Amino acid sequence: MKDFLRTRRDRLRPEDVGIIGGPRRRVPGLRREEVAMLAGMSVEYYVKLERGHLRGVSEEVLAALARALRLSQEEYRHLMDLARAANGGTGSSSFTPTRHVRPALQQMLDAISTPAWVRNGRSDFLAANTLGRALYSPLLTSSIRPPNTARFLFLDPCSRDFYLQWDVIGQQMVASLRAEAGRHPFDRPLTDLIGELSTRSDEFRHWWGAHEVFTHGAGSKRIHHPEVGDLELNYEPMELTADTGLTLMIYSAEPGSPSADALALLASLHADQPAPELLRDDSSRPS
């Protein structure tokens, strides 16, 4: 919490919030007393919050902080998650994301004609249809195991060829894992993944220190596929209400575009390819 509030405070300039800064400031952003004034609380109480003492803090206080620090909706949700964890709420309880998909969910994936795959909040690559597996074949054939988009992104050099906007995707991935860690701070596999990436990737470690948060919404992605070349795809994430913590990702190309032609070629190259064992459901194993 303390680093999150500090970085939000540091990024604001006095003029952003209507304060005359003056030439002799020693801090890059707002002073603690300025945030306290904007939030309508005592300096002592704000300092306590920034040091991570959130037990008993009310939603009204958090909302005032969000307004004072100009937090986005994603950042405000993250602040609420951190406070909930500090107060022993559901965010602090033991949680392990699902690792396997139901047969009915795989059946639905196979019925989708465009690339589609399922991930959990940790970005494990859990299941896909044929075209989804073909699209992400560099990840699925990578020596970096198990299949996980964050691990592939930061630990496999091939990802820099695959993702044409590697820096953008990388920063979004780090911010997404930061948000997930706020929701589930005691998810041990997630904590282990973050520790591994922080140890092995300078970029991950640097971006993790920025305390940005991000939630995947609809967007577009540019990739270079080793078999069919450059692709520009739109994607839609869909939360699966019957499978808590799982998200369905569906990709599509603009009809009649070169990317649509490339997807059609990719589909023909991988027609009738069986699903690898690592993506099949195995409900007998513990999650």
Domains annotated on the chain, with CATH: 2-92 (1.10.260.40), 103-279 (3.30.450.180)
Q: Which two tokens stand for residue 27?
A: 């801090």
How many Å apart are CA 129 and CA 168, to the nearest integer?
Answer: 26
Long-range CB contact pairs, 103-106, < 8 A, 24+: 103/281, 105/240, 105/243, 106/275, 106/280, 106/281
**Chain Cα centroid distance, residue 256:** 31
How many Å apart are CA 180 and CA 187, to the nearest integer?
Answer: 9
Q: Which letter, b or e, does each residue of 260-281 get, where b requires 16 or more Cβ atoms within 10 Å of its Cβ?
A: bebbeebbeeeeeeeeeeebeb
Whether the predicted pLDDT of 50 surpasses 80 = yes
- Per the CB < 8 A criterion, the answer to whether 233 and 253 are in contact is yes
Whether the predicted pLDDT of 140 surpasses 80 = yes
pLDDT band at 278 (very low <50, low <70, confident <90, very high): very low
pLDDT above 70: percentage of residues in the chain: 90
Whether the predicted pLDDT of 82 surpasses 50 = yes
Rounded to two decimals, the pTM is: 0.85
Which has more pLDDT, 219 or 274? Answer: 219
Q: Which two tokens stand for residue 18?
A: 């209507």
Mean pLDDT, residues 178-195 = 93
Which residues contact residue 168 at a Cβ distance below 8 angstroms, ignoring those fewer than 6 apart? none
pLDDT, residue 263, reads 96
How many Å apart are CA 127 and CA 250, to the nearest integer?
Answer: 12
How many Å apart are CA 160 and CA 229, to the nearest integer?
Answer: 14
pLDDT in tens, 193-251: 999 999 999 999 999 999 999 887 889 999 999 999 999 999 999 999 889 889 999 99
Sheet of 125-128, strands arranged across: 125-128, 116-120, 246-252, 229-239, 219-225
Which residues contact residue 226 at a Cβ distance below 8 angstroms, ignoring those fewer than 6 apart? 137, 138, 161
**Amino acid identity of 74?**
E
Q: What angle do CA 102, 269, 170 make, to 5 degrees?
A: 65
How many Å apart are CA 147 and CA 17, to the nearest integer?
Answer: 45
